[in-house]
Amino acid sequence: MSELPFSFHVTHTDGRARRGTMTTAHGAVETPAFMPVGTQGAVKAITHRDLEGLGAEIILGNTYHLYLRPGDDRIARLGGLHRFIGWSRPILTDSGGYQVFSLAARRRIGEDGAEFRSHLDGSLHLLTPEKAADIQANLGSDIAMVLDECVAHPCEAGPAAAAMNRTLRWAARARERMVAIRANAVDSVAVSNSGQAQFGIVQGSVYPELREESARGSVALGFEAYAIGGLSVGEPPDVMYDIVSRTTPFLPASRPRYLMGTGTPQDLVESVARGIDLFDCVLPTRNARTGQLFTSEGRINIKNARYTEDQRPPDPACSCYTCRTFSRAYLRHLFLAGEIGAASLNTLHNLNFYLDTMRRIRDAIAFRRFESFRLAFHQRLSRQATDS
């Protein structure tokens, strides 16, 4: 087997925060990095050209959605996900498990996997650890995630331990399947990206001892890197920060660490401070479509009547196209008039804010002033009133 093109190099550290470069089959990603969510092969409301202009180096695709429509086998026949969607930079795909737990109708979880009915047409499907690996191989993403069992919050220690142990058993099966896929030993799979890396996922709800056991078990299976899953599911931020803080020490320093599905700008800063390198979240894109803008002075809701004749840009400190060109008054008008451009302009700004926050985090780590950056970041946000 030839050597994988996947690698990670930490270039700077400041406390527990790290700056580095993650190299994939489709190029490099400066970390800590935020991945915009491109659910169905598109980041909602904006084009790939916009994303490239914003400096997005990696996006996330949702396996559940792409498997159901247009189908991973069809995407493989069309040359893989990168070619199909016209995005040449890195892509990470999730396992599909989270959407099965949150979207699918009538799901049933067993040792074999998760049986569910499509939310589109009611058809019956079985997502196993092997199937999740096969689908992502067909998609040809640069980073594939293992299938895990994510529990809701709150969850008693007993069920949390059971789900964590099942996740470990599923991870072993997923890794075995990946080894077979890399050896071209799975006939049903068309490999369009032979450099695909596979990440394990740490589970264990809010229980530090389960998180440690999960991390140790995952690392023993030898994945290219590791994610922390099952957080940002309703627990208080302080609990999430504490679990992150108590989990990262058990993940290898030489591999990127990915906190799945998180979070607010404050969450990004606090998690970087605890050793996280990768993030994804629908907040900047989803909230943009409901008129909520993340700014350096807190969140503003563009629907608010106070912006009716406000000629200021959404964020005076932002250099994005939206802020350089348009007033809050105009964006509010577009939103209330139901113009589709409102979603595009709001999304462009919110993603710029997230990506720019990551750039400033990386710079702060490189200059070993992350702690002062962190304090200033929180102070600036906490001084400002945030729209409801």
- Summarize as ranges the residues that interact with Zn ion (CB under 5 A): 318, 320, 322-323, 349
**Does the N-terminal peptide bond of residue 36 adopt cis geometry, omega within 30 degrees of 0?**
no
How far is Cα 322 from Cα 318, in angstroms, rounded to an integer?
9
Which residues is 258 bridged to in the sheet?
227, 278
How far is Cα 319 from Cα 300, in angstroms, rounded to an integer?
17
Number of Cβ within a 10 Å radius of residue 306: 11
CB of residue 348 to Zn ion, shortest distance in Å = 7
Where are the strands (E) in 260-382, listed by range? 278-280, 292-295, 298-301
Give the residue with the Cβ less far from Zn ion, 184 or 319: 319
How far is Cα 266 from Cα 275, in angstroms, rounded to an integer?
15
The amino acid that residue 90 corresponds to is P
Give the residue with the Cβ less far from Zn ion, 319 or 382: 319
Where are the strands (E) in 260-359, listed by range? 278-280, 292-295, 298-301
CB of residue 294 to Zn ion, shortest distance in Å = 9
Give the residue with the Cβ less far from Zn ion, 240 or 348: 348
Please confirm, yes or no, whether 280 is among the known catalytic residues.
Answer: yes
Please confirm, yes or no, whether 387 is among the known catalytic residues.
Answer: no
How far is Cα 18 from Cα 379, in angstroms, rounded to an integer?
22
Annotated active-site residue in 14, 267, 280, 315: 280
CB of residue 328 to Zn ion, shortest distance in Å = 11
CB of residue 170 to Zn ion, shortest distance in Å = 41
Torsion 46-48-51-56 (CA) sign: positive
Return the axis-axis angle of helices 265-272 and 370-383, rounded to nearest 10°: 160
Residue 125 structure tokens? 């499907």
Give the residue with the Cβ less far from Zn ion, 223 or 307: 307
Is 248:242 a contact under the CB 8 Å cutoff? no
Residue 67 structure tokens? 């498997």
Phi, psi of 264 (to 5 degrees): -80, 165
Is 273:19 a contact under the CB 8 Å cutoff? no
Give the residue with the Cβ less far from Zn ion, 261 or 284: 284
* Beta pairing, strands 17-24 & 114-117: unpaired
Residue 327 structure tokens? 């007033």
Annotated active-site residue in 14, 50, 94, 142: 94
Q: What is the CA radius of gyration of the chain?
A: 21
CB of residue 361 to Zn ion, shortest distance in Å = 18
Give the residue with the Cβ less far from Zn ion, 178 or 302: 302
CB of residue 53 to Zn ion, shortest distance in Å = 12
Give the residue with the Cβ less far from Zn ion, 58 or 331: 331
Which residues is 168 bridged to in the sheet?
none
CB of residue 271 to Zn ion, shortest distance in Å = 23
Which residues belong to the active site?
A: 94, 280
